[in-house]
Every structure is written in C-alpha cells, then in structure tokens.
Amino acid sequence: MNISRQEQRALHVLALGGWILHERAGGPKVTEVTCHTREGMILDGFDLATFQRLRRKRLIESRAGHPYRISRLGRLSVRAQVDNQGG
C-alpha cells in the first residue's frame, strides 16, 4: 500500500498515542480536523485531505463518536523509524 510522507507522519503520531479530533457542521460530513500528539501538541500540516486519505484506506477509525485513532491495519502499515523512540 502506498502511503505518503504526510500520512506516515500522522500514523507515527497516532501509533504513539495521539488522536484526531473532528468537527461536523450539523450533518454527517467532517468539516475540520486536528491531529494531536499524546503530549497535547498539534501536528503541523495535517489537513482534511490527509484525514480523508487515511480514512479511505482504513488506517484510522472512530468508535462510538470518539476521536479517531489508528486502526489495526494502520499499525501494521506504519514503517518503523529509528529516531521515533516514543519519548
């Protein structure tokens, strides 16, 4: 599966305990997203297009209206990084 650099970056943040907050404008469509690290910082460059690609590939999921998190397929698809020690 081809995963872009921005998608990989977001998946790394999510794999380390991050989440994606989404907002809806009165209907079922997601209109705004922000990706947060586990420390509470916001990932720069994460936009709605990246969110849609991750969701379409089923690399992220939301359960019962909670923030989006990495799915099992996402965990299997993310590439290992030497400098990404998790702390």
Q: What is the pLDDT of residues 57-76, one digit of tens each?
A: 999 999 998 999 999 999 99
3-state SS string for 44-77:
CCCCHHHHHHHHHCCCEECCCCCCEEECHHHHHH
What is the pTM (predicted TM-score) of this model? 0.86
Domain boundaries, the chain: 5-77
Cα 47 to Cα 87: distance, rounded to the nearest angstrom: 25
74 close to 59: Cβ distance less than 8 angstroms: yes
Q: What is the pLDDT of residues 8-58, one digit of tens each?
A: 999 999 999 999 999 999 888 999 999 999 999 999 999 999 999 999 999
Q: What would the two tokens of residue 82 be?
A: 């030497």
